[in-house]
């Protein structure tokens, strides 16, 4: 470990905190449907879209209608992308003559991008330019916008008084896309191009290396997808190795900016929540609880990675493990990136997580198992976190005998049941499917590494899919009908079986009266509350997943320090 490494983590965290308020204020303006300077240019586009689609943006939707309209849109965009991927060989902009994806792979990929997971069973190099742009880039925007829309709907649930509606899905989704994601990505992509990220419709160039060999260099519209891939916490790269590829992430500076952009909107939404419920302290305490867990995780992973592995030390290599890491980033920035990308539901990687040390890799795994509520994916992070907040006030209410209340709303049995229902999806999918794959021959054919690390590869895959992350212990051969199918189901359920209960909670809360804070309410702005939140999240996650972690990373660690190889 070096002073520079700790500096990196510290400065990164401070800049992130500084970004929360400005980003949160911008999002708040969009949440409220206010006019912004961008409306001069994009206002006509927004109105034109509504007109053609027959949408009245001011029509309030109850939670059922909001949910059904949201789901209908997901199914439509899923089908659109499925057919593009399935038949890319028949479509234009495929100069390298790539074949269409098989049915199970196209299903997996389309689900993966619809659910903001961006798990890559395919290798990015096998997709045509059209598939990348039209099939995948649009989902990067729309799945991110959907996540933020759901968060907005939940915020309205907390802030409205005896209301029937929780907003309009079409308006929320369209506004977030047009006034937040699109303009930000335009600027961001131009920065990427200036830094060396390709942006061209040319798909490949042949080079003759210095030693006279032929090297085929793949190009494409990389920068345009890279920008939304990070900002929308999507994570699906144009290339197989994602943000480790020099064309996706050319320098240490682009790497630093990428890490910030993964968490910027998620951090901003905590501030937006505070504004929405009329007390910005409510937002800041959430961010504080998130950051405490984030910094803790980053410290552990950095400590482990900088320590390296006994096996490589015995072979005469000094320092941390460089297997699966890039020289321009080094140990600290690789460790930090792996924690950032799994704290959010991003899943972009700048180092191969499969080659991380066992405990260094445990943190990304555990981050995802907690439901990615450590800042989290855009929208998904904050609505996931608020589920835990509902449980926390409920537990606090049980302990001290007070009526559970949160930001002025009474939390009753319906909300608690729905929150538990949503949170239970994680262990059900992750542990259920991992168990299945660990006993079936089709599942056991997957892992590359032997011993406990092979189990970690399976566990990581189902964790990543259910939590809609998309990063991988990439040694697993996941492009089989078995894994494509099962992972696709895990991604869909992991996304929408959480979103629908969240919307139900929003509807139920919106209908309630607001109770002004009294001496009888449990204060949710202090240190005690932060401690309780972290406690609930870690205890629930720990109780649920520690046994599986013991079989994977912890067993792997014990084997490693005893010099056992597999």
Q: How far is the CB of 211 from another protein (least distance, A)?
A: 6
4 binds another protein (CB under 8 A): yes
Stretch that binds another protein, among 18-26, 215-223, 391-399, 423-431 (CB under 8 A): 215-223
Cβ(283)–Cβ(529) below 8 Å: no
452 makes contact with another protein (CB under 8 A):
yes
Among 162, 206, 439, 527, contact with another protein (rule: CB under 8 A): 206
Q: Cβ–Cβ contacts within 10 Å for residue 105, how many?
A: 21
> Judged by CB under 8 A, which of 43, 451, 481, 485 binds another protein?
451
CA distance 460 to 366: 9
CB of 104 vs another protein, minimal distance in Å: 22
Nearer to another protein, 5 or 283 (CB): 5
321 makes contact with another protein (CB under 8 A): yes
Q: Which residue of 211, 441, 518, 527 would you call a contact of another protein, by CB under 8 A?
A: 211
Helix (H), strand (E) at residue 450: none
The DSSP output letter for 347 is: -
Tokens of 230: 């990070």
For another protein, the binding residues in 489-508 under the rule CB under 8 A are none
Q: Which two structure tokens, joined as six digits, stand for 388?
A: 């835990």
Asked if 440 touches another protein (CB under 8 A), the answer is no
Tell which one of 38, 163, 193, 493 touches another protein (CB under 8 A): 193
- Is the four-CA dihedral 345, 347, 348, 352 of positive or negative sign? positive
Query: Pseudo-torsion of CA 131, 135, 137, 143, nearest 10°?
Result: -160
With H, G, I as helix, E, B as strand and everything else as coil, classify residue 153: helix
322 binds another protein (CB under 8 A): yes
Q: Is 219 in the site for another protein (CB under 8 A)?
A: yes
Q: Which is nearer to another protein, 359 or 368 (CB)?
A: 359
Distance CA 205, CA 200 (A): 12
Residue with tokens 């939940």: 154
Q: Which residues pair with 207 in a beta bridge?
A: 215
Q: How is residue 273 written in tokens?
A: 């929540």
* The only residue of 1, 29, 38, 68 in contact with another protein, by rule CB under 8 A: 68
> How many angstroms separate the Cα of 399 from the Cα of each of 309, 328, 413, 418, 522?
45, 51, 16, 21, 11
CB nearer to another protein: give 181 or 429: 181
What burial letters (b/e) apply to 49-86, b meaning 16+ CB within 10 Å? ebeeeebebeebbbbebbbebbeebbeebbebbbebbb
Under rule CB under 8 A, which residues in 361-420 are in contact with another protein? none
Residue 560 within binding range of another protein, rule CB under 8 A: yes
Q: Is 58 in the site for another protein (CB under 8 A)?
A: no
Q: Which of 36, 195, 403, 480 binds another protein (CB under 8 A)?
A: 195
Strands 409-410 and 405-406: antiparallel
**Which segment (29-37, 111-119, 169-177, 288-296) binds another protein by CB under 8 A?**
169-177
Shorter beta-carbon distance to another protein: residue 217 or 444? 217
Name which of 251, 252, 222, 217 is nearest 236 in CA terms. 222
Q: Pick from 267, 178, 559, 537: which is nearest to 385 by CA?
A: 537
Window contacting another protein (CB under 8 A); options: 21-29, 105-113, 203-211, 370-378: 203-211
Tell me the backbone φ, ψ of residue 470, rounded to 5 degrees. 105, -15
CB of 219 to another protein, least distance (A): 5
Query: Rule CB under 8 A: is residue 456 a binding residue for another protein?
Result: yes
480 binds another protein (CB under 8 A): no
The dihedrals phi and psi of 199, each to the nearest 5 degrees, come to -150, 95
Contact track, another protein, 256-295, x by CB under 8 A: x---------------------------------------
Partners of 217 in beta bridges: 205
We find the least distance from the C-beta atom of residue 396 to another protein, in angstroms, to be 37
Number of helices and strands in the chain (H, E): 21, 4
Nearest to 229, CA basis, from 258, 193, 198, 187: 258
Interaction with another protein in 326-345: which residues (CB under 8 A)? 326-331, 333-334
Which two structure tokens, joined as six digits, stand for 243?
A: 């943000």
**Is 96 or 414 the residue whose CB approaches another protein more closely?**
96
Report, in Å, the least distance between residue 486 CB and another protein.
Answer: 20
> Which H or E element spans position 195?
helix 182-195
527: contact with another protein by CB under 8 A: no
Which residue number, 152 or 329, has a Cβ lying nearer to another protein?
329
**In the complex, minimum distance from the CB of residue 453 to another protein, in angstroms, rounded to a whole number:** 4
- Element housing 405 (H / E): strand 405-406
In contact, 221 and 252? CB cutoff 8 Å: no
Q: Which of 102, 172, 103, 186 is nearest to 137 (CA)?
A: 186
91 vs 103: CA distance, rounded Å: 17
Closest CB to another protein among residues 130, 538: 130
Which listed residue (113, 271, 388, 473) binds another protein by CB under 8 A?
473
Q: What binding mask, one character per residue, do residues 225-254 give for another protein by CB under 8 A, x or -?
A: x-------------xxx--xxxx--xxxx-
Closest approach, Cβ 236 to another protein, in A, equals 14
Under rule CB under 8 A, residue 142 binds another protein: yes
Q: Hey, which residues between 76 and 95 contact another protein (CB under 8 A)?
A: 76-77, 80
Q: Which of 38, 39, 49, 485 is in the footprint of another protein by CB under 8 A?
A: 49
- Give yes or no for residue 39 binding another protein (CB under 8 A): no
| Window of 137-145, 260-268, 293-301, 391-399 that interacts with another protein by CB under 8 A | 137-145
Distance (Å, whole) CA 134 – CA 13: 35
Residue 174 binds to another protein (criterion: CB under 8 A):
yes
298 sits near another protein (criterion: CB under 8 A): no
Q: What is the DSSP letter of 207?
A: E
Residue 319 binds another protein, judged by CB under 8 A:
yes
Pairwise CA distance, residues 213 & 215, whole Å = 6
Number of residues lying near another protein (CB under 8 A): 126
Query: Considering the rule CB under 8 A, would residue 307 count as an interface residue with another protein?
Result: no
């Amino acid at each position: 470990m070096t002073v520079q490494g700790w500096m990196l983590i510290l400065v990164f965290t401070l800049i992130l905190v500084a970004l929360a308020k400005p980003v949160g204020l911008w999002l708040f303006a969009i949440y409220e449907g206010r006019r912004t300077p961008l409306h001069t240019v994009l206002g006509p586009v927004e109105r034109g879209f509504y007109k053609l689609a027959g949408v009245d943006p001011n029509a309030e939707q109850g939670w059922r209608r909001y949910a059904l309209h949201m789901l209908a849109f997901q199914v439509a965009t899923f089908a659109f992308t499925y057919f593009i991927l399935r038949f890319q060989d028949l479509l234009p902009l495929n100069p390298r003559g790539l074949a269409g994806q098989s049915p199970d792979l196209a299903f997996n990929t389309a689900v993966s991008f619809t659910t903001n997971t961006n798990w890559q069973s395919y290798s990015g190099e096998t997709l045509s330019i059209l598939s990348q742009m039209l099939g995948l880039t649009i989902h990067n925007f729309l799945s991110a916008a959907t996540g933020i829309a759901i968060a907005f709907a939940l915020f309205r649930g907390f802030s409205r008084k005896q209301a029937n509606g929780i907003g309009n899905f079409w308006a929320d989704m369209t506004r977030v896309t047009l006034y937040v994601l699109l303009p930000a990505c335009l600027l961001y992509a131009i920065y990427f191009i200036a830094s060396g990220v390709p942006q061209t419709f040319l798909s490949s160039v042949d080079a003759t290396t210095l030693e006279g060999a032929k090297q085929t260099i793949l190009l494409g519209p990389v920068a345009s997808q890279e920008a939304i891939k990070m900002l929308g916490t999507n994570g699906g790269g144009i290339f197989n190795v994602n943000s480790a590829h020099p064309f996706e992430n050319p320098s240490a500076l682009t790497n630093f900016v990428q890490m910030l952009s993964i968490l910027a909107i998620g951090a901003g939404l905590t501030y937006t929540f505070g504004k929405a419920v009329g007390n910005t302290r409510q937002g800041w305490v959430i961010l504080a609880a998130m950051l405490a867990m984030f910094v803790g995780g980053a410290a552990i992973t950095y400590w482990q990675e900088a320590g390296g592995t006994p096996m490589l030390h015995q072979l005469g290599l000094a320092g941390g493990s460089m297997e699966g890491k890039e020289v321009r980033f080094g140990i600290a920035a690789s460790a930090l990136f792996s924690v950032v990308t799994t704290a959010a539901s991003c899943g972009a990687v700048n180092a191969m997580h499969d080659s991380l040390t066992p405990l260094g890799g445990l943190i990304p795994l555990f981050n995802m198992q907690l439901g990615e509520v450590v800042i989290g994916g855009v929208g998904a992070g904050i609505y996931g976190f608020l589920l835990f907040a509902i449980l926390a006030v409920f537990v606090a209410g049980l302990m001290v005998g007070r009526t559970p209340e949160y930001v002025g709303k009474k939390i009753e049995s319906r909300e608690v049941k729905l929150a538990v229902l949503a949170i239970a999806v994680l262990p059900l999918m992750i542990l259920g499917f991992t168990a299945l794959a660990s006993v079936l021959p089709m599942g056991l054919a997957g892992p590359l590494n032997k011993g406990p690390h092979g189990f970690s590869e399976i566990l990581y895959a189902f964790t990543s899919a259910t939590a809609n992350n998309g990063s991988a212990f990439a040694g697993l051969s996941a492009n089989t009908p078995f894994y494509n199918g099962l992972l696709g189901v895990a991604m869909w359920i992991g996304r929408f079986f959480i979103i629908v209960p969240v919307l139900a909670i929003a509807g139920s809360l919106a209908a309630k009266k607001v109770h002004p804070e009294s001496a009888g309410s449990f204060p949710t702005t202090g240190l005690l509350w932060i401690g309780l939140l972290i406690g609930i999240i870690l205890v629930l996650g720990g109780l649920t997943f520690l046994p599986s972690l013991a079989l994977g990373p912890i067993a792997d660690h014990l084997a490693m320090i005893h010099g056992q190889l597999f």
